[in-house]
Amino acid sequence: MNFVSPSHPKPGIAHSIFSCLNKDSTRGVVIQAATLGLVLATLLYLFSNSAQNLDRLGLSFGFDFLQTTAGFDISWSLIAYDPSMSYWRVFLVGIVNTLFLSFCVIVFGTILGTIVGILRLSPNPLVSQLARCYVEVVRNVPLLIQIIFWFTTVFSALPPPRSGYGFAGLVFLNNRGFYMPSAVTDMSGWLIAAGSLILLGPLWFLLRGIRRQQRQNGSVSRSYRIAFALWGLVLCGMALIVGSSLRWSVPALQGFNIEGGMFLPSAFGAAFIAMTVYRSAAIAETVRAGMESISKGQHEAAATIGFSRFQTLRLILIPQAIRAIIPPLANSWLVATKDSSLAVAIGFPELVSVFMQTSVNQTGRAIEIIAMVMGFYIVVSLIISYLLNKYNAHMQFKAR
């Protein structure tokens, strides 16, 4: 049958445009084009403004300033630095200091947080309530207040170097910071790094092979044992070489200051303690939530086969809880890395402080510097989330 109505009017052009817009696919294209156009136009507008403003200020865009001499001092750095070095070195100093601080916070915060999280689950109400108070107080007070609190009321209130605390003539604590003995070698850092890479690379392959063989045959073949022994010999040899050039640098009071050894400034101490405490509260909650996600039946089953509380924790609860804990824990570590930027408030020379504050003031290259700093944080967060996603995938139940 044919239902063509002869009197149906031909649609006008305007009408056909509107009916076209009513179709989802066309409308999608129009909306996307409009959004893209708007975003591009805004960006273009902003960039043309910035070009004008930079012109007015007599600045140009480019990363050539990284090669110029910085000319300012940095109060503390893990890698060697002096004011005659370039801005590129300043960037590196900032990165290394930031990574060092966040690494320390991640390691100690995770340990402390796990302990507090387990205490929080203690059947003893006194202990669990104390842990709860700790968590609630710590996480409801802003981190910045805690950092400044530790810096101004604890570390700045320590006595000056001459009357500071010393323990066994090896470790010193005063209002400048913390001093401890350190090992010094004559070899360059690159040599040691290359050496450890040469050592660790084969070890990884060896262990993997041994584990695979153990799983397949139940025993390890002789060639693997010989290879392992050889590796041990190489290790001893390298340890001998390194050890022969090793000296201990012990801090000692000289005049008004303490010289030698390894030095951690009080700003580091304050930031480290405040951030570790703050992070531990968050991790404690993560651990608790992970532990509580395990059904009561598992506790009861463990009790039935006569496991002690510690055995239950180690063999039954933690291996299962870890699956629920890893994703939020990864998030917590990421936040710890980002939080390390708050140490700028007490003058710890991390990336934001030395690069985003001092260097921007010195050079005026705000766009490039901010892009570099943000790029660094983005790369770090991508790496951490990639590694932990891999680990997470490795740890989850394998569905068959």
116 close to 389: Cβ distance less than 8 angstroms:
no
Please report whether residue 207 would count as binding another protein according to CB under 8 A.
no
Distances (CA, A) of 94 to 77, 90, 99: 8, 6, 9
Please report whether residue 363 would count as binding another protein according to CB under 8 A.
no
End-to-end CA distance of the chain: 56
Least distance between another protein and beta carbon 341 (Å): 4
Least distance between another protein and beta carbon 36 (Å): 5
Residue 75 or 196: the one with the smaller Cβ distance to another protein is 75
Q: Which of 382, 386, 387, 389 binds another protein (CB under 8 A)?
A: 382
Please report whether residue 12 would count as binding another protein according to CB under 8 A.
no
Residue 114 or 341: the one with the smaller Cβ distance to another protein is 341
Please report whether residue 21 would count as binding another protein according to CB under 8 A.
no
Residue 192 or 370: the one with the smaller Cβ distance to another protein is 370
Q: And the tokens for 92?
A: 């590196």
Least distance between another protein and beta carbon 148 (Å): 6
Q: Which of 99, 241, 377, 392 binds another protein (CB under 8 A)?
A: 377
349 close to 73: Cβ distance less than 8 angstroms:
no
Please report whether residue 283 would count as binding another protein according to CB under 8 A.
no
Backbone phi, psi, residue 69, to 5°: -70, 135
Please report whether residue 307 would count as binding another protein according to CB under 8 A.
no
Please report whether residue 241 would count as binding another protein according to CB under 8 A.
no
Backbone phi, psi, residue 164, to 5°: -70, 175
Picking from 98, 261, 247, 267, the residue whose alpha carbon sits closest to that of residue 184 is: 247
Residue range at the interface with another protein (CB under 8 A); choices 50-58, 174-182, 267-275, 297-305: 50-58
DSSP letter at 156? T
Q: Which of 16, 19, 26, 35 binds another protein (CB under 8 A)?
A: 35
Q: Which of 132, 299, 323, 338 binds another protein (CB under 8 A)?
A: 338
Q: And the tokens for 250?
A: 């012990």
Strand partners, 178: 173, 264
Residue 224 or 377: the one with the smaller Cβ distance to another protein is 377
Within its chain, how far is the Cα of 391 from the centroid? 16
Q: Which of 28, 159, 201, 237 binds another protein (CB under 8 A)?
A: 28
CA distance 182 to 262: 5
Least distance between another protein and beta carbon 320 (Å): 23
Binding mask 55-74 toward another protein (x if CB under 8 A, else -) reads -x------------------
**Binding residues among 122-151 for another protein as defined by CB under 8 A:** 123-127, 130, 136-137, 140-146, 148-149
Distances (CA, A) of 205 to 10, 127, 209, 304: 76, 45, 6, 41
- One-letter amino acid at 46 equals L
Extract long-range pairs of 183-190: CB within 8 Å, 24+ residues apart.
183/246, 183/247, 183/248, 183/249, 184/246, 184/247, 184/248, 184/249, 185/242, 185/245, 185/246, 185/247, 186/245, 187/242, 187/245
Least distance between another protein and beta carbon 150 (Å): 10
Residues touching another protein: how many (CB under 8 A)? 53
List residues binding another protein (CB under 8 A): 28, 31-32, 35-36, 39, 46-47, 49-50, 52-54, 56, 123-127, 130, 136-137, 140-146, 148-149, 152-153, 156, 338-339, 341-342, 344-345, 352, 356-357, 360, 366-367, 370, 373-374, 377-378, 381-382
